[in-house]
A and B are shown apart, each in its own frame.
Chain A
Amino acid sequence: MPQKIITANRLIDGEVVWLGPDGDWVEAVAAAAIFDAAALEVGMEGARRGVAAGLVVDPLAIDVVLRGGAPVPSRLRERIRAFGPTVHPDYGKQADGKGTHP
């Protein structure tokens, strides 16, 4: 199974976030916790707790590849979420120093 990370949108502002290694929600994909098959369900359980606590909505496990040790989403859709609109480099994560499109 490809390696996975868990993403969601933050409830209060819709910001794209990922589940971090400490169980918190991080704003940069590079800081996301990486899960293998065995650990994924534990991660999803943590994500569901985030939903129940009203922190995030729509958690989802997504495939990633590792580049320089950091996770990069495999699908274009998730890369756009991770870095921002490809047509607006001045908006989204890419504008806030939280990653750039590969």
Chain B
Amino acid sequence: MNIQAPYTPAPHAGVYRYDEFDREFVRQRTEEFRSQVQRRLSGELTEEEFKPIRLMNGLYLQLHAYMLRVAIPYGLLNSDQLRRLARIARVYDKDYGHFTTRQNIQFNWPTLADTPDILAELADVDMHAIQTSGNCIRNVTTDQYAGAAADEVLDPRVYAEILRQWSTLHPEFTYLPRKFKIAITGAPNDRAAVKVHDIGLLAKRAPDGRIGFEVYVGGGLGRTPYIGIKTRDWLEERDFLAYIEAVLRVYNELGRRDNIYKARIKILVNEMKPKAFIAMVEEEFARVPRDTYGLDPAIVEAIRQHFAPPPLADLPARSDRFETDYAEDRAFACWVDGNTAAHRANGYRIVNISLKPIGGIPGDASSAQMELVAELADRYSFGEIRVAHEQNLVLAHVRLDDLHALWQALVPAGLATPNIGLVSDIIACPGLDYCALANARSIPVAQRLSERFADLDRQFDIGRLQVNISGCINACGHHHVGHIGILGVDKKGEEFYQITLGGKAEEDAAIGSILGPGFSSEALIDAIETLIETYLKLRRDRTESFIQVVERLGNAPFKEALYAAA
């Protein structure tokens, strides 16, 4: 297909605007893949030869069909890009897409023959599927409230984009021992789960105003979960790339390549012991040439311009119109309380759009829903959309005055369930319904659980509770860091589910611990309800959350409640 004229996203769309170099690179990769697909279909390439190529372009083969994972750089989309994703879902897939815990989107039913056309459609809007598979530096993830959050120290998108540019064509790091995930947050309240990534960056500002980062390395979930170790309490902004380069060099040189299960950097860090690992990184860091890897303030500033704040109006902190709607419409008030967050500017809120309707599939959005969100983003939030790792969408800059109209538009589309952070806001991987690696289903568990707790008053009473479900030990559903984590296993051909308690993904991240023997699919939902009822009995008052009770009392009372009767 013909590549169209350079695409120009709306100004202030909150996404990085490609230059001609980026654009040409993606176009060339698309045409290269088109040729490779043709060679595969003609028999010139075997599957063994072709498989690494298709994976490097985000194309997996899953249970039912191919699956295309499209990169959403640090979870940011403009409305045209979201419309394009909707179009791809409608034309080439089955009219829906699945937003993932990596802030990406997956299409579950594309054909191999169509994939080059899909990639060309993506390239038209400066998107691609590169770095969504393989042993490379994957799509960098960040805070879905970036550039809007009231608690933000700096805008993490700037540094996420620097990492994207640095990693995309880095010749040394295209064949690492294993995949490599970097997350960055610009706020002290970590919404990007940085401590369970290969590298986690937590931005901070020194008393004298300088920008720097705390660095964590070796975090990760999967078969061997670890919280990252702090390798630097302070990393100067100018050394940002040089230090990350040093970490990657050490990993690339010493990371194991003999065993896929021991190849992530977390294993290297723990086998070397943190002290020795840190020393080696510092040694390498001293060698990294600063003229090449020092962060030039002019470049940082140029990238920062891409993420300049949208033209927010100078508004009063209070809106009479909003206050009236809030007082008169209880359902609206519930949604405001549950699904919106403080914005740094007076008169604005950050809006979370829940992709977790009761009984729905976490993270799924139909083409029509994507198009509606794109339209609402144009109307109310400067045409930008973010994807949260919790598999929801975000409109980051909505006027208080507009909240009621926005909510009214979301309700009929099933996009206004006021459950953000509550028991039915479940993170779930695709599980055995789609995934070739899974041992058990995740989605039906999430559906039954949200149906069991469908009553919103009950959910509000329970309060903040993160339930995460993975269908296998690879932990795409982040079960280790759920307050309640559920891991599906195959036990002699039957689905069984192991429960962990006490995990969390924030700045005080922790890995949950296993409660005891697993539960059958039939018994699982009752078991989760028992845990929640136990919490309600044990909490001091409504301000003490589920995770706080687990931290105060440990697993014992929950274990007793769960297993005593058995």
A77 touches B113 (CB 8 A): no
A80 touches B61 (CB 8 A): no
B113 touches A12 (CB 8 A): yes
Task: Report A-chain residues with C-beta under 8 Å of the C-beta of B160.
Answer: none
Interface centre among A13, A53, A74 (most CB of B within 10 A): A13
A75–B113 alpha-carbon span in the complex (Å): 30
Quick one: which of B410-460 are within 8 Å of A by CB? Answer: 432-434, 438, 441, 443-444, 447
B112 touches A91 (CB 8 A): no
B64 touches A14 (CB 8 A): yes
Task: Report A-chain residues with C-beta under 8 Å of the C-beta of B434.
Answer: 85
Nearest CB in chain B to that of A91: its residue: B94
A54 touches B43 (CB 8 A): yes
Task: Report A-chain residues with C-beta under 8 Å of the C-beta of B109.
Answer: 14, 91
Report the minimal beta-carbon distance from A74 to chain B, rounded to whole angstroms.
7
Report the minimal beta-carbon distance from A42 to chain B, rounded to whole angstroms.
22
Quick one: which of A69-96 are within 8 Å of B by CB? Answer: 74-77, 80-81, 84-88, 91-92
Q: Interface code B63-82, partner A: CB below 8 Å = 1, 0 otherwise?
A: 11110000000000000000
Whether A40 sits at the interface, judged by CB under 8 Å, is: no
B64 touches A85 (CB 8 A): yes
Whether B47 sits at the interface, judged by CB under 8 Å, is: yes
Report the minimal beta-carbon distance from A26 to chain B, rounded to whole angstroms.
16
Quick one: which of A2-29 are within 8 Å of B by CB? Answer: 9, 11-16
A15–B112 alpha-carbon span in the complex (Å): 10
Whether A61 sits at the interface, judged by CB under 8 Å, is: no
Whether B40 sits at the interface, judged by CB under 8 Å, is: yes
Instruction: Give the size range of A's interface with the partner.
Output: 20 to 34
A85 touches B433 (CB 8 A): yes
A91–B447 alpha-carbon span in the complex (Å): 18
Known contacts A14-B112, A87-B444, A91-B109: A80-B47 contact under CB 8 Å: no
A85–B432 alpha-carbon span in the complex (Å): 8
Whether B493 sits at the interface, judged by CB under 8 Å, is: yes
A13 touches B433 (CB 8 A): no
Nearest CB in chain B to that of A95: its residue: B94
Task: Report A-chain residues with C-beta under 8 Å of the C-beta of B65.
Answer: 9, 13-16
A11–B45 alpha-carbon span in the complex (Å): 12
Whether A36 sits at the interface, judged by CB under 8 Å, is: no
Report the minimal beta-carbon distance from A87 to chain B, rounded to whole angstroms.
5
Report the minimal beta-carbon distance from B543 to chain A, rounded to whole angstroms.
36
Whether A57 sits at the interface, judged by CB under 8 Å, is: yes
Report the minimal beta-carbon distance from B351 to chain A, rounded to whole angstroms.
27
From DSSP, what is the main secondary structure of chain A's interface residues?
Answer: loop
A77–B438 alpha-carbon span in the complex (Å): 9
B64 touches A87 (CB 8 A): no
A16–B434 alpha-carbon span in the complex (Å): 12
A13–B65 alpha-carbon span in the complex (Å): 7
Known contacts A9-B61, A14-B66: A86-B112 contact under CB 8 Å: no
Report the minimal beta-carbon distance from A88 to chain B, rounded to whole angstroms.
7
A53–B41 alpha-carbon span in the complex (Å): 10
B40 touches A86 (CB 8 A): no
Report the minimal beta-carbon distance from B550 to chain A, rounded to whole angstroms.
30
A12 touches B41 (CB 8 A): yes
Report the minimal beta-carbon distance from B377 to chain A, rounded to whole angstroms.
27
Choose one: A11, A14, A74; the contact of B40 (CB below 8 Å): A11
Whether B284 sits at the interface, judged by CB under 8 Å, is: no
Known contacts A75-B493, A80-B432: A87-B447 contact under CB 8 Å: yes
Whether A41 sits at the interface, judged by CB under 8 Å, is: no
Known contacts A11-B112, A14-B61, A81-B64: A54-B41 contact under CB 8 Å: yes
Besides A13-B112, A87-B441, A87-B443, 18 other CB < 8 A contacts? Answer: A12-B41, A12-B113, A14-B65, A14-B112, A57-B47, A74-B493, A76-B432, A76-B441, A76-B493, A76-B495, A77-B63, A77-B432, A80-B63, A80-B433, A84-B64, A87-B447, A88-B433, A91-B64
Pick 28 A–B contacts, CB within 8 A, sort by A: A9-B61, A9-B65, A11-B40, A11-B47, A12-B111, A12-B113, A13-B66, A13-B113, A14-B62, A14-B65, A14-B66, A14-B109, A14-B112, A16-B64, A16-B65, A53-B43, A57-B61, A58-B47, A74-B493, A76-B493, A76-B495, A77-B63, A77-B438, A80-B433, A85-B433, A86-B444, A88-B433, A91-B64
**Which residues of B are at the interface with A, using a C-beta cutoff of 8 A?**
40-43, 47, 61-66, 94, 109-113, 361, 432-434, 438, 441, 443-444, 447, 493, 495
Q: Which 8 A-B pairs have the closest CB atoms?
A: A13-B111, A14-B65, A85-B433, A14-B66, A54-B43, A87-B443, A57-B47, A81-B63
